Amino acid sequence: MMEYPKYKKLLFCTDFSEGSDYAFQFALGIAKRDKGLLYILHVIPTNPYQKLAEAYITEGNLKKDMEKYVNNQYEEHYVKKMENGAKFRIVTKSGGEAEEIIKFSKDEKVDLIVMSTHGRTGIEHVLLGSVAEKVIQRSPFPVFIIPARNMHKRS
């Protein structure tokens, strides 16, 4: 009988979309099966105009508001769904999404990266690119991609 690889450190990347929520089921399942540590990573894309916007906004703080929003998203989408004994760490980075995912995966020496696609095609894909595609191209680690078209049905 063939032995499957054990994934002791998994990196789950999320943008809090429906596709990410679906991919989370796979990441959590693998982490539970292998009793691994599940990193849940969200990258806040760098906004080149953020400092300019902050200069004109007198009430509140964009950074603090974003942190609060992201923390609420983690809680709502993932933390509430963690089962007893599941080991996980929440991580938030800021910058280029693919670059931060690759950097984190190398820094932590993960065994597997799990993420979803948005299913963009045509001009939308050309203009916006694909974070998943960039991660696949640059990752020294296996990448498990959950296609967007499978969000609602599992065969």
pLDDT in tens, 93-151: 999 999 999 999 999 999 999 999 875 555 544 444 589 889 999 999 999 999 875 44
**Residue 121's pLDDT is what?**
52
* CB-based contact 120:150 (threshold 8 Å): no
**Residue 122's pLDDT is what?**
52
* CB-based contact 12:89 (threshold 8 Å): no
**How many Cα neighbours within 13 Å face the side chain of 5?**
9
Question: How many other CB atoms are there within 10 angstroms of residue 32's CB atom?
Answer: 15
Question: How many other CB atoms are there within 10 angstroms of residue 13's CB atom?
Answer: 27
Check if CATH label 3.40.50.970 holds for domain 9-150.
no
pLDDT in tens, 57-104: 655 577 788 889 999 999 999 998 887 778 999 999 999 999 999 999
Question: Rounded mean pLDDT of 39-46?
Answer: 92
For 110, the token pair is: 């993960």
**Residue 1's pLDDT is what?**
81
Write the single-letter amino acid at 14. Answer: T
Question: Rounded mean pLDDT of 29-40?
Answer: 95
Confidence grade of residue 51 (pLDDT, cut at 50, 70, 90):
low
